[in-house]
Homo-oligomer: A and B are copies of this chain.
Amino acid sequence: MASEIRALVFDVWGTVVDWRSSVLDELFALGRQRGLTIDWEAFLAEWQGTYNPGKEKVNNGELPWTTVEAIYRQALDRLLVRYKITGLADSEIEHLNRVWTRMRPWPDSVAGFTLLKRRYVLSTLSNGSFAWLIAIARFAGLPFDCIISAENARCYKPRSEVYLTALSLLARKPEEVMLVAAHNYDLRAARALGMGTAFVARPTEFGPHQTKDLKPEQDWDVVAADMIDLARKMGAV
C-alpha cells in the first residue's frame, strides 16, 4: 500500500487536534472570569451539534456555501442569548468563536507529522474554512505542506467533490493519496473514490462517554494507534 502513496490528507478536528478539551478549557475560563454558573459541557455539545445540520443544509442546497465559522458564529449568537451570557463586545464574541482555531494537537500529532513529512506531502482535507485551517496549523505548530479545505470545493465532506478537488490540486491519482481520519464516514467516502484510507482512533474526541468511531468499521488500508504509529506503518521512520 505505502509504496503507491505520495500524499497524506488529514481530517483535522478530532483526528489531529483535540477540539473538545481545548474549547472546554476556554469556556471554563470564561465562566470563572465572569462568574457564570453554566453547564459548559452541555453548552459545547449544543454548539458543536449545530455543525452537522449546518453542513447538511449546504450539501442538500438549502443553504448557499457557508463556512463552518459562519455556522458556529450564528449558533454562538443564539446560545449566548439562551444561556443569558451578556456584556460581551462583538470583538469578544468573535474571539470566542475563533476558539475553534486555538486547539491543542493530540500529543502524537506534531511528532508524527514531522516523521511523515520527510516522505509524504501532508495536506489538510477538512470541512474547516481555509483561513481557520491556516490558524489551526499555526497555533498547533503542525507542519502541513498546504491547506485544502471543503471551501475549495464549496461543499462539505462526504460529498465527493471535496476529495476530487484535493486530488486535482495535488495532481495525483486516487491511489496515490491517502485520507487519514478518525471518522469512518469520511474514510468510506475516500475509499469509494479509490483513495487510500488510514484510521486513527480518537476514542475521547467527544469526551469520556463517546460511543461512535471507537474502532474501524471496514478493513481500512492502515489502522494506526496514533500519528507516530502511522509514520511507522507508512515506512517514514
Contacts and interface: CB of A to CB of B under 8 A. Distances in A.
B145 A137 contact: yes
Interface stretch (A39-47, A128-136, A195-203, A226-234): A128-136
Contact of A129 (B129, B130, B171): B171
Nearest to A137: B145
A170 B131 contact: yes
A172 B147 CA distance: 16
Copy number in the complex reads 2
Contacts of A151: 169
Given A130-B171, A169-B131, A170-B131, A145 B152 contact: no
Contacts of A138: 121, 145
Contacts of A133: 146
Contacts of A171: 67, 129-131
A119 to B, nearest CB: 11
Interface string A154-176: 00000000000000011110000
B130 A169 contact: yes
B146 A121 contact: no
Given A152-B152, A169-B151, A121 B134 contact: yes
Contacts of A130: 146, 169-171
Interface in A108-125: 121
A134 B147 CA distance: 10
Nearest to A147: B146
18 contacts: A67-B171, A121-B138, A130-B146, A130-B169, A130-B170, A130-B171, A131-B170, A131-B171, A131-B172, A133-B146, A134-B146, A134-B170, A137-B145, A144-B146, A145-B147, A146-B147, A147-B147, A152-B169
Interface of A: 67, 121, 129-131, 133-134, 137-138, 144-147, 151-152, 169-172
